[in-house]
Amino acid sequence: MIDNVTELEQELIGILVIKPNRIDELVLPIECFDSKVHRKIVEIILKQWKEHHSTDLPAMIENYKELISKDINISDFIPEITSCVSSAPTDANFEYLQETLFQKYKKKLVIRQIKLFERNQISYEKFMDFIHDVNSKILFNQQKKVTGEEIYNMITRKSKRISFQYKTLTFFGNIQEHDLVILAARPGVGKTGFALNLCNFLSEKYKTIYFSMEMSQKQIYSRLLSIESHIDMKYLDNPQTDFQAQKVREFSDKVANKKLEVIYANQTLSSIKTKIIKEAKKEHVIVFIDYVGLIYPSKRYSSIYERITDIVKELRVISLDFDCTIFLISQLNRQGQDKPRLIDLKDSGELEQAGTAVLLLSKQDNTSIADKEYMNLEIAKNRNGRIGVVEFIYDKNNQIFVEKKGE
């Protein structure tokens, strides 16, 4: 989540302007806004809504120009409220923003009192009374009462299942839009290859973003092109015939025309979220993150466990709050039994806890034939469907996974 106070205030103010129905749910006192300009903007928004039931910016200026000018310049008011509107793509974070700003305001008050105490300007008793008073302050959130119609629509609305090229995974997995799906395997097993098979198929229908923090753009597109064309990867940059060269060209265009964007630079959680929010305003987005351990931290953590836990929790919130489904790729511990288990998920138990489905990819024992591997995809956890194993054959030459048909 955003941690900068100015950005938090801007997003909250933007929500009040573009979603005025939220104004009646605002419980954060004006004095909790750190910026003088923001305090005045909120004051004017509330006054305009109360007296005119509108958040129209030109009307605010016309109606309250003198009131605004008493405390700040009009030249500061207009560009700042415009910036606030552009900072709020959705109202999904409305309650979170209020609570976060309230906690930051309380922290600021405490720091101020600590300084006074250190300078012997207040007694220990007064200092402790103040701390107790601040800690007891609660931001009461006035939740809107849900109507019977809203409850009925909520219960009867069918979730949208995501269909894959693999019928067994589609039916038994029952993975749905807004899920957070964990795809894990030990190093070198083929988790990126499997993720790219899903990505290549889903990008025919969905806007799809593939965040790759382990491979270059060329490596990712080479694999996608090989999956799409069935041409061995070793021949993509060295075609053996004119026909093969023509096919590489044709399928390059086909891959380019998919609803797919590959982002291959290092990413922070904030940059990933920003990109998802931008694209999810237009349509449902499928997101692949390869892989969780390489997401660059935006702040210091005391341990890898703490960092991964924070990241996974936030990604689950993103999948719920925004119009997206996230496939999060993770490594399994190198040590452990041959058959992977949920306990082998590396660095954080939150991967199992937050994931709506956990898919564990592994090689079958002693079943390799030439460059083909027989694979198990275990649906080890599934809130919406069944658990069990789906068998695949993995052709390393062209990176293609095909579902193994029953004998």
Kindly tell me if the per-residue pLDDT of 144 is higher than 80.
Answer: no
The candidate with the shortest Cα–Cα distance to 93, out of 206, 204, 176, 11, is: 11
Q: What is the helix (H) or strand (E) element at residue 33, kind and residue range?
A: none
- Rg of the chain taking only CA atoms, in angstroms: 26
Domains in the chain, number: 2
The candidate with the shortest Cα–Cα distance to 184, out of 366, 370, 350, 395, is: 350
Q: Kindly report the pTM of this predicted structure.
A: 0.65
Average pLDDT score, the chain = 88
Same-domain check for residues 208 and 301: yes
Kindly tell me if the per-residue pLDDT of 317 is higher than 90.
Answer: no
Work out the average pLDDT over 283-291.
Answer: 93
Same-domain check for residues 253 and 311: yes
297 within a domain of the structure (yes/no): yes
Looking at residue 3, its pLDDT comes to 56
Same-domain check for residues 117 and 174: no
Work out the average pLDDT over 194-215.
Answer: 95
Question: Tell me: the pLDDT tens digits for 99-132?
Answer: 889 989 999 999 999 999 999 999 988 888 888 7
Same-domain check for residues 180 and 266: yes
Looking at residue 126, its pLDDT comes to 87
The CATH number of whichever domain residue 121 belongs to comes to: 1.10.860.10
**From 32-46, 142-156, 201-215, 260-274, the region with the lowest mean pLDDT:** 142-156
Is the distance from CB of 318 to CB of 270 less than 8 angstroms?
Answer: no
Kindly tell me if the per-residue pLDDT of 1 is higher than 50.
Answer: no
181 within a domain of the structure (yes/no): yes
154 within a domain of the structure (yes/no): no
Looking at residue 121, its pLDDT comes to 93
> What does the block give as tokens for 399?
């990176």
The candidate with the shortest Cα–Cα distance to 261, out of 221, 222, 302, 208, is: 208
Kindly tell me if the per-residue pLDDT of 20 is higher than 80.
Answer: yes
- Better pLDDT: 292 or 142: 292
The DSSP string of 302-324 is: S-HHHHHHHHHHHHHHHHHHTTE
Kindly tell me if the per-residue pLDDT of 53 is higher than 80.
Answer: yes
96 within a domain of the structure (yes/no): yes
> What does the block give as tokens for 59?
């009307």
Work out the average pLDDT over 39-61.
Answer: 93
Same-domain check for residues 85 and 181: no
Kindly tell me if the per-residue pLDDT of 252 is higher than 80.
Answer: yes
Same-domain check for residues 130 and 172: no
Looking at residue 293, its pLDDT comes to 84
The percent helix, strand, coil of the chain (3-state, each to 5) is 50, 15, 35
Percent pLDDT > 90 in the chain is 55
Kindly tell me if the per-residue pLDDT of 341 is higher than 50.
Answer: yes
Same-domain check for residues 99 and 24: yes
Looking at residue 368, its pLDDT comes to 66
161 within a domain of the structure (yes/no): no
The candidate with the shortest Cα–Cα distance to 60, out of 79, 41, 73, 33, is: 41
**From 34-43, 132-141, 194-203, 259-268, the region with the lowest mean pLDDT:** 132-141
Looking at residue 262, its pLDDT comes to 94
Kindly tell me if the per-residue pLDDT of 70 is higher than 50.
Answer: yes
Query: In the listed set 136, 154, 187, which residue is the last one of a domain according to the structure?
Result: 136
Looking at residue 116, its pLDDT comes to 93
For residue 243, the enclosing domain spans 167-403
**From 175-184, 227-236, 343-352, the region with the lowest mean pLDDT:** 343-352
The candidate with the shortest Cα–Cα distance to 1, out of 85, 93, 89, 83, is: 93
257 within a domain of the structure (yes/no): yes
145 within a domain of the structure (yes/no): no
151 within a domain of the structure (yes/no): no
Same-domain check for residues 63 and 108: yes
List all residues 6 or more positions away from 306 whose beta carbon is below 8 Å from its beta carbon. none
The CATH number of whichever domain residue 198 belongs to comes to: 3.40.50.300
Same-domain check for residues 190 and 230: yes
Q: What is the helix (H) or strand (E) element at residue 58, kind and residue range?
A: helix 57-71
Query: In the listed set 115, 136, 157, which residue is the last one of a domain according to the structure?
Result: 136
Cα separation, 173 vs 376, in Å, equals 14
Same-domain check for residues 101 and 182: no
| End-to-end Cα, the chain, rounded Å | 49
Same-domain check for residues 33 and 132: yes
Same-domain check for residues 237 and 281: yes
